[in-house]
Structure 1
C-alpha cells in the first residue's frame, strides 16, 4: 500500500476567511488519491493539513494570515478555569436542563476550509465501538453553586468599587474572544465617605491569600499534633482528603449522571471516508488508524459531528460541525476536551500516540488565538520544522506575523529533500524512481515542479509516496 498524490502547485491571491482579505491567501496543495497514516503524520509535521482529500500547506511568508501547526501535550494537560466552566455548563444542562442566560458564543472552528474540498463525508463501516458519554455527576453540583456564591461574596465591597458580573464572565469564557472584564461602576452615596474609625477596605485577593495562609498553618499544626501522642510515640498520619486535589479532565468528564437527569448525551464513533487508508496493526489502538466521525447524540438527536484522524503519534482534529441551536453548550470547547481525553485513552494502549494536533494556530487573527489556551502546547517552526513551546513563540508573533521559531541561526531543515533521483513517480501505471522517469522527459519545467514538491514533502515522504505524472 502506497500513497498516491497529484501535486497542484501554488494557489495565490484568493479570499481569506480569517481577515476577509479578497486576495491575500496563498498556499500550495495536492490531491491525495490515497494516503497512508504514516505519510500524513510526516506531512503534518511539515506544516501540511488536509481538508477532505485536498492536502495543503500555507505559504507562510506570503499569506496574509500565517497558519502555524499547533499540538497539545494531553498527558500533561490540565483544564483551565474556562475549560472547567464549559464542562460544568454541560453538567447543569444535562442534570437539570439549565440553559445559560445571555448570548454564549462558542470558540470559532476551522470552518474556512480550502476551496478544493472533496465534501464527501459519508458514513462507512460502523466499528464495534460505542461509548456512552459519561458527564459530570450531581455530587459536583453543590460545589459549583458554593463556588459561585463565594466568588460573588468576594467581589462585593463597600464604598467606591468595580463589580464584574459573574454572568458576563461566563459569557466571555464560553466564547473564543479574548477575556475582557465587563465593569459596572458604583459610586459612594452622597454625603458619605470613608469611615476613619473602621479599618481600611481590603482587596478580595488579599483576603483570599490570608485565608489560605491561615488554613495551611492550621493544617501544619494539626499534622504535628496527630504525629505524636502525649508519651511521644508516633501514630499514623491521616491521609489528605482527595477533595482538596484539583479534579483531572477524566474526573470532570467520566463521572455518571443522576438517574433523574433531564437529558442524555451519547457518544459514538464511525469510520468515515477520507484519503487515509484504514490500518489495524497488532500494536496499534483497538479502533485502528484512519479517519473517524465522532457523533454527539442528545436524547436521540444528533447535535454535533467531529472529524478526527488517528495517526501513529497523534490524534489530529480536522474540524467540527454542529447544530447552531446548541451553541450555548460551547460544543467546540467541549469536543476538544473530549478529544484530549480520548488521546489519553489511546496512549494507554499505544504509548507512542501521545499528542493532540489542533490544526493551525493563527496569531494575527485574535478570534483564532483560542487554541493557544490548551497547554502545554508547541508551535511548528515554518523553516526548520522543529517544535517550540508556544510561550517562547508568542513574543515574536506579537512583533511580526511571520516568524522563524528556531533560535539557532545555523539550524536547517533536517528532513529536506537531499536526493531527487530517489523520489518515486507513478507514470503510465508504473512506479519508478525519478532518476529513471526524467530520462524520458523533454519538458524543461518538469524538474522544477518535481523539485518544489520534494522540498515541501521532505525526503522520507518523497521516497514513499507516488507522485502522479501525466
Structure 2
C-alpha cells in the first residue's frame, strides 16, 4: 500500500495494527476511539516537557562536559539571551546527540537517534521483550519474536521519498523504526508511519534502564520535532479513548484536533469539547446542529434513512449499512455509485468488477452477495478513493 493512500485512510478513521487495517464503530463501542492530530507548527512545549528534555540533555552531556564546553565554546551575549528567552524544540531535541555536541571534551554519554527500516533484529526484539514484560506485565507465553514481527515489523506500507510542492523538501515515506541508542545500546524504539502530511505514531517502547528519564514524553516530543523540521506538519498520536487513563497524556500536547466521525472534519479540542467527553459516551460534535448530511463523496453519515437492524435475526452477521456506524453513506446514497468499474486483480491479471460479476439485477442491500460486500467496502473506504486508487485483490487468502 502506498503511503499516500494510507494517509487518506487515516483521515477516514482507519488505522493499522501490523498488516491489519481496521476502522472502529464509535457509536456502538463501549469505549469510543477517536483520531487525533497535532499541528506541530503551532506547538509550544509546556514547562514540564521542557524540563524533561533539559534533564535528559544534562544527563547525557554530564556536568564536567558542560563546564568545559562553556569555556571552550562560549555563547555570544545574543545567543545566551535568545536561549534564555526562547525554547526551540528542534534545537533542544538534538542538543545532546553525539553529532551535535562539540568536542573536545567528550560528553559523559554518547546518545544517537537514527531512522531505520522497520525490519526485525534481535537487538530490537530485546527492547520489545523487556518493555512488554516490565511495563505491560506480560508473561513469557505472551511475548514472542513472531508477535513482534507481525505487530511492529515489515509493514505493508511501501517506503519511498516524497518531494513537497510547497516547500521543495524531500521527506521519507513508509514505516520506520526511530532507534534511540545510549552508549551504543539500543534503549528505545519509536515505530512510525511517515506519510505525506503526517508523522503517525504506531508504538513506542523502551528499556527499563531509562525509565527515570520519561522516555515516552521524550519520544513524543522528538516525533513532534520530526514533523516540524521535515515538513510533515501533523503528528498523529493514535486513537484517543477518553475513559482510558493511559491515554490521558495525549491531551498534554496542544493544539490537538479531533476527527469528527460523522462529517470526517477536524474539530479543535478545547474545554467545551472535553466537557462533552466527560458527559457523553459517543461524542456528537457541537457543529452538527448547523450541518446537514452531504453525500457519500465526503463520507456523510447515515442518519434516519438507515434501515433498522433486525433484532430478531438469527444471523449475527449484519450489513455495514445496518451497523449505525458514523461516517458511512446511506444505502440510498450508495445506489448511485458505479460498481462496474472497480479494478480487480486476479491470478491472470487485472479487470473491472463488472467483467467478472453478473449483478445487473442484484441490490446492495442483499447482504452476503458479492455486490453487497463490495458496496460495504466502498462505503467504509470512501467512494472518492475507490475508482482510481483502490484495487480489489482476490488472490489473498486463497
Change (3 A) 1:455 1:138: farther
Give the alignment of 1:14-29 within 5 angstroms.
Answer: none
- What residue in structure 2 maps to residue 426 of structure 1? 345
Higher relative contact order (CA 8 A, sep 6+): 1
State whether residues 79 and 248 of structure 1, in contact with CA within 8 Å, keep that contact through their aligned partners in structure 2.
no
- What residue in structure 2 maps to residue 36 of structure 1? 2
How far did 1:357 drift? 1.1
TM score, norm. by length of structure 2: 0.67
- What residue in structure 2 maps to residue 261 of structure 1? 107
Is the aligned partner of 1:274 residue 2:192? no
How far did 1:414 drift? 4.2
Is the aligned partner of 1:338 residue 2:222? yes
Single out whichever of 402-411 and 294-303 deviates more from structure 2.
402-411
- Residue in structure 1 matching 2:233, options 343, 350, 354: 354
Distance in 2 between residues matched to 1:37 and 1:311, nearest whole Å: 5
Give the alignment of 1:41-52 within 5 angstroms.
Answer: 41-52=7-18
State whether residues 363 and 401 of structure 1, in contact with CA within 8 Å, keep that contact through their aligned partners in structure 2.
no
- What residue in structure 1 maps to residue 292 of structure 2? 410
Structure 1 runs not aligned, ≥5 long: 1-34, 98-136, 143-237, 348-352
Distance in 2 between residues matched to 1:465 and 1:414, nearest whole Å: 15
Rg larger for: 1
Distance in 1 between residues matched to 2:54 and 2:350, nearest whole Å: 55
Is the aligned partner of 1:293 residue 2:293? no
Q: Which has the higher helix share?
A: 2
Backbone CA RMSD of aligned residues = 3.0
Change (3 A) 1:346 1:245: same
Number of residue pairs the alignment of both structures matches: 297
Distance in 1 between residues matched to 2:79 and 2:171, nearest whole Å: 39
Change (3 A) 1:435 1:404: farther
TM score, norm. by length of structure 1: 0.57
Distance in 2 between residues matched to 1:278 and 1:380, nearest whole Å: 26
State whether residues 61 and 402 of structure 1, in contact with CA within 8 Å, keep that contact through their aligned partners in structure 2.
yes
Give the alignment of 1:456-467 within 5 angstroms.
Answer: 456-463=380-387, 464-467=389-392
State whether residues 343 and 351 of structure 2, in contact with CA within 8 Å, keep that contact through their aligned partners in structure 1.
yes
Give the alignment of 1:358-377 within 5 angstroms.
Answer: 358-377=237-256
- Residue in structure 2 matching 1:388, options 244, 260, 267: 267
Q: Deviation per CA, 1:223-278: give whole Å up to 9, x if none.
A: xxxxxxxxxxxxxxx99943552312124223355734321110111122211112
SS in 2 for 1:384: coil
Change (3 A) 1:82 1:280: same
How far did 1:340 drift? 1.0
How far did 1:358 drift? 1.0
Q: Deviation per CA, 1:17-37: give whole Å up to 9, x if none.
A: xxxxxxxxxxxxxxxxxx111
Structure 2 runs not aligned, ≥5 long: 71-77, 119-153, 300-333
Distance in 2 between residues matched to 1:288 and 1:429, nearest whole Å: 34
Change (3 A) 1:243 1:340: closer
- What residue in structure 2 maps to residue 174 of structure 1? none
